[in-house]
Structure 1
Amino acid sequence: MSNIQGQLTYTEISAQSAALQAAWDQLQKQSDWVKRYIGNDQYEEVVFIGSGSSYYQSITMAATFRKWTGRSASAQPSSDIFLLRDATLPRGKKLLIVGVSRSGESHEVLLALDSVKNEDHIDTCGITCHETSKMFGMTECLLSPLGKEKSTVMSKSLSSMTFMMQAAIAMAAGGEAYLQELKTVLELDEELVKASDSSIKEWVSAHNFNKTVYLGLGALGGLALEACLKLKEMTYTWTEAYGTLEFRHGPKSIVDSGTLVCFLLSQSAREYELKVARELKEYGATILLLTAERGEDTDFADLVLELGGAALSDEARSVLYLPAVQYNGYYNAVKRGLNPDDPRNLTQFVKI
């Protein structure tokens, strides 16, 4: 990669496979964290909190926790914890709040954790990429050691923290099945990052859209929101994200011939999601499918990126969707002559 605008972002997107492996290795050293916190069934609900991208990955973390453990979990914007706690958290329950912050310095996460420190029924912990951060000092955190980034926009940090928390949840769930699924993700990720790079670069070079919509369900719904944010942050273009079937209830009115609709396609709801995709194709949209496997049922789409891992749960496959959507933001920014390393109005963490 030559020394051009966006070099940091490109390098960090491309390095996420190593960041995932480092997160996996680090978790083996922090397995006691799992027993004390998310694996501890004294907690009646686990609440994942974050801001921006960290909130979106919290949605994926919470969905994974509910599915794999069968226990109660939710995701909340960190600001709602200290500003609107009574409208956000259940009363009379023993709660665990998990702060999610790349930098460990996000003021809203810190304020949220500080606001509950004297509550007997609430304990806290966290996940971050920085062991010298304020959050790491105020509560016990998992650490993604290669998640650290110089670029403003989150990429490998988000992938590695999402993967690390899912591995922790797999440990909490007991049994080896989900851990084996995540080992498969590690095996797939490096080649998938390279394939996503070349495919999306070629795709962006050949296409222009006035609107982009990302759709996903369950754990992939949080990542659809994150995909939307990546494009918005790097290109300043208006994008939207919805639950796949929810998009049919009004929002589909925006679809025209200049609209790209990208599906983070699940296996569990594949039949229904593809019905939506075909409907939107009839309205003139260009359809991009990110899917575990292509088939005759996907032949109608304009581009199908096969991720692999068809036998995996949708939750375990989550991070495999991220390289393509991150590169889509990057290459669209470069095409517009913008610098994705330094998006306007943005900083690595937000002060309040």
Structure 2
Amino acid sequence: MCGIVAGVAQRNIVPSLLEGLKRLEYRGYDSCGVAVLQRGEARRVRTLSRVCTLEADARAIDLDGATGIAHTRWATHGMPVIDNAHPIFSGELIAVVHNGIIENHEQLRQSLRAKGYVFTSQTDTEVIAHLVHEHYCGDILTAVHNATRMLQGAYAIAVMCRDEPGRVIGARQGSPLVVGIGKEGVFLASDTFALAGSAERFIYLEEGDLVDIEGKDVKILDKEGQAVTRREIAFVRHASDAELGAYRHFMQKEIFEQPVAVARTIASVTGRETHQAGMPKPEELAEVTNVVMLGCGTSHYAALTACGWFEHFANVAARAEISSEYRYRDYVSPGNTLVVAVSQSGETADTLAALRYTQSMGEQRTLAICNVAASAMVRQCRWSFITEAGPEVGVASTKAFTTQLVALFMLAIQMGKQRGHVSESEAESYMRQLTALPDAMRNVLAREPEIMAWAEALYQSDHALFLGRGTHYPIALEGALKLKEISYIHAEGYPAGELKHGPLALVTDAMPVIVTAPNDALLHKLKSNMEEVRARGGRLFVLADSDTGLTVESGMRLIHMPAWFGALSPVLHVVALQLLAYHVACLRGTDIDKPRNLAKSVTVE
């Protein structure tokens, strides 16, 4: 949600700021803007359109300067109108961009108004700008430090001052902010992806940190104002990460990248050069009898799928909790619990808060399953499993989800082996199956033409129902989520056995019913549920393993998947549902990579 790019360069910084904003478009936004210090004044351009429009507008007024801040905004306080777009100014002196939510903004607003400050926006961000202005006495770092001490809530900010060119101040509390150091300048951004090409070395700010960028110099202070040193990390990103190549959209590209992403994730544990140094040692899991998994959206569905794996392979009680609800529950520890936080970005505000909540209740066994090694979640947890999905640009998660499933599966097998419920030979068999998974996923991707034909039959529907049983019920939920996210068709996922307890009332020939049908122990039950749909005139779209024996009948469309892939079957079926959602959205002409009202990294509550 929202995106910050800022910095001080040795040349005109505007192209770097705009390129950074383009790389942050995946987060979702409804306005954007850029401001620089140019010939002794702060100048800005803002728009309610895309970054490409902002770029043209900046070019039209010859926006040029070595010090600047830029932002993509996802509206929270105030409608998406120009006055609410960032950067936000306080007079002609202070310019601010901000991610997060200031919880005490109303009280601060009243106080500032009483002191003569006039508010021109509905944003909580304007409070920050005026506070910095109020505290400014010739040193912008001191002003920002004093202002942030009055803020309650979450924020990542970048601030510049007309009277101090060549200087940008950053601060973070609850929202991510990274410093990027390059040959042509020093930058701030919401994530490293925004600075690919501009910076080679990165410093992740800790909670409460302030950073003072002055020319090429970087100084970091903790929340007490004391100088500190933070670890510097070098990243190498490939240009292809940010390029579409032969694909129409990043989502399509990322769907087809899944076999490689899954193979990399498996190799990170089983290859000759393993690099999962943060994983717990087997003996450290020996006493675990309960697993609690925290996640939101797609990550929650990955955790929900894994519950069956932990129970079956490791014989431990497992439950998946929605972070935004769990953080407000009365926590009752079952003892000997492993808390697993699941997140693509590692910056998901609700999951971070739920994780902190469990830790405050005494839970010390915490593990992050995450795609970003230097994220807040990884740093907050005792252990970590870094998925190898690579950058995921499309807002609707695809390869992050399947690599999360692989990580959770491997963790369940490891726990089962340590607890004596999975033998050495069985573990080796499961690892061989994992190694074969990428090729099986390519087999599913080869069915794209058949899935496109389904999309032709579905794209004019207003509603859709997804059904699954066992570990495929969360896959039905994920399939429905993908369809609603990018096509805007109302879709719901249900356990197939629940049909007769309510949802069957919705089934008519106008309600397509998509079924994920693996050749598992529940197949005969699922067939009965499908007959219930056919008997009510419903239209069935069935993804069936090739060995199920299912054949096309009246009122049914059928795509034969590969043969049943055992416990890893959900990974294959979800790939087909991702493709279905993608092609339906293509036919409906929606903004697939940046669906309306949604953000990639949800860093506010």
- TM-score in same-fold range (> 0.5): yes
Deviation digits for residues 1-57 of structure 1 (CA, Å, limit 9, x no counterpart): 988996111111111111110110112325675554797131220111100111111
Is 1:70 matched with 2:315? Answer: yes
Q: Which structure has the larger Rg over C-alpha atoms?
A: 2
Is 1:242 matched with 2:494? Answer: yes
The equivalences for 1:16-165 within 5 A come to 16-28=258-270, 29=274, 35-36=280-281, 40-86=285-331, 90-139=332-381, 140-165=383-408
Cα distance in 1 for residues equivalent to 2:596 and 2:450: 27
Cα distance in 1 for residues equivalent to 2:283 and 2:545: 29
- Further displaced range: 285-294 or 233-242: 285-294
Deviation digits for residues 101-151 of structure 1 (CA, Å, limit 9, x no counterpart): 001110011111112324334421111111121112211221112243011
Cα RMSD (Å) of the superposition? 2.3
Deviation digits for residues 211-270 of structure 1 (CA, Å, limit 9, x no counterpart): 211111221111111111000000111111111111221211101111111111132111
Residue 330 (structure 1) shift: 1.0
**Aligned counterpart, 2:540:** 287
**Aligned counterpart, 1:177:** 429
Query: What amino acid does structure 2 have at the position aligned with 1:323?
Result: V
Q: 1:180 to 1:83 in 2, by over 3 A?
A: same
The residue matched to 1:83 in structure 2 has which SS?
coil
Cα distance in 2 for residues equivalent to 1:83 and 1:332: 37
Is 1:210 matched with 2:453? Answer: no
Cα distance in 1 for residues equivalent to 2:325 and 2:260: 34
Q: Higher relative contact order at CA 8 Å, sep ≥6: structure 1 or structure 2?
A: 1
The residue matched to 2:365 in structure 1 has which SS?
strand
Is 1:221 matched with 2:473? Answer: yes
- Further displaced range: 220-229 or 37-46: 37-46
- Further displaced range: 63-72 or 116-125: 116-125
Query: What amino acid does structure 2 have at the position aligned with 1:239?
Result: A
Q: 1:171 to 1:93 in 2, by over 3 A?
A: closer
The answer (yes or no) to whether the contact 1:260–1:285 under 8 Å persists in 2 is yes
- Further displaced range: 249-258 or 133-142: 133-142
**Aligned counterpart, 1:318:** 570
Cα distance in 1 for residues equivalent to 2:304 and 2:282: 18
Cα distance in 1 for residues equivalent to 2:431 and 2:507: 40
- Further displaced range: 64-73 or 35-44: 35-44
Query: What amino acid does structure 2 have at the position aligned with 1:269?
Result: L
**Aligned counterpart, 2:508:** 256
The answer (yes or no) to whether the contact 1:38–1:169 under 8 Å persists in 2 is no
Residue 65 (structure 1) shift: 1.1
Deviation digits for residues 139-190 of structure 1 (CA, Å, limit 9, x no counterpart): 1221112243011110111011112221232233223232233233233111
Q: 1:173 to 1:334 in 2, by over 3 A?
A: same
Q: 1:34 to 1:69 in 2, by over 3 A?
A: farther
Cα distance in 1 for residues equivalent to 2:431 and 2:330: 34
The residue matched to 2:446 in structure 1 has which SS?
helix
The answer (yes or no) to whether the contact 1:185–1:317 under 8 Å persists in 2 is no
Cα distance in 2 for residues equivalent to 1:160 and 1:8: 17
The answer (yes or no) to whether the contact 1:34–1:172 under 8 Å persists in 2 is no
Cα distance in 2 for residues equivalent to 1:164 and 1:91: 25
**Aligned counterpart, 2:527:** 274
Residue 327 (structure 1) shift: 1.2
Deviation digits for residues 74-125 of structure 1 (CA, Å, limit 9, x no counterpart): 1111123321143xxx435121110000011100111111123243344211
- Give the structure-1-normalised TM-score: 0.91
Cα distance in 1 for residues equivalent to 2:282 and 2:490: 39
Point out 4+ residue stretches in structure 1 off by more than 4 angstroms.
1-6, 30-35
**Aligned counterpart, 2:144:** none
Cα distance in 2 for residues equivalent to 1:261 and 1:148: 33
Cα distance in 2 for residues equivalent to 1:38 and 1:135: 23
**Aligned counterpart, 1:302:** 556
Q: 1:223 to 1:24 in 2, by over 3 A?
A: same
Q: Among all aligned residue pairs of Structure 1 and Structure 2, give the percentage whose two residues are the same amino acid.
A: 22
Query: What amino acid does structure 2 have at the position aligned with 1:236?
Result: Y
The answer (yes or no) to whether the contact 1:102–1:148 under 8 Å persists in 2 is no
Q: 1:84 to 1:16 in 2, by over 3 A?
A: same
The answer (yes or no) to whether the contact 1:216–1:224 under 8 Å persists in 2 is yes
- Give the structure-2-normalised TM-score: 0.54
* Structure 2: 5+ residue stretches without partners: 1-242, 418-426
Cα distance in 1 for residues equivalent to 2:277 and 2:372: 19
Cα distance in 2 for residues equivalent to 1:255 and 1:236: 20
The answer (yes or no) to whether the contact 1:257–1:286 under 8 Å persists in 2 is yes
Total equivalences in the alignment: 346
The answer (yes or no) to whether the contact 2:313–2:413 under 8 Å persists in 1 is yes
Cα distance in 2 for residues equivalent to 1:295 and 1:60: 21
* Structure 1: 5+ residue stretches without partners: none
Structure with higher strand content: 2
Query: What amino acid does structure 2 have at the position aligned with 1:212?
Result: A
**Aligned counterpart, 1:201:** 452
The answer (yes or no) to whether the contact 1:16–1:159 under 8 Å persists in 2 is yes
Query: What amino acid does structure 1 have at the position aligned with 2:593?
Result: D
The residue matched to 1:328 in structure 2 has which SS?
helix
- Further displaced range: 76-85 or 56-65: 76-85
**Aligned counterpart, 1:187:** 439
Q: 1:269 to 1:236 in 2, by over 3 A?
A: same
Alignment match of 1:339 (pick from 556, 574, 591)? 591
The residue matched to 1:176 in structure 2 has which SS?
helix
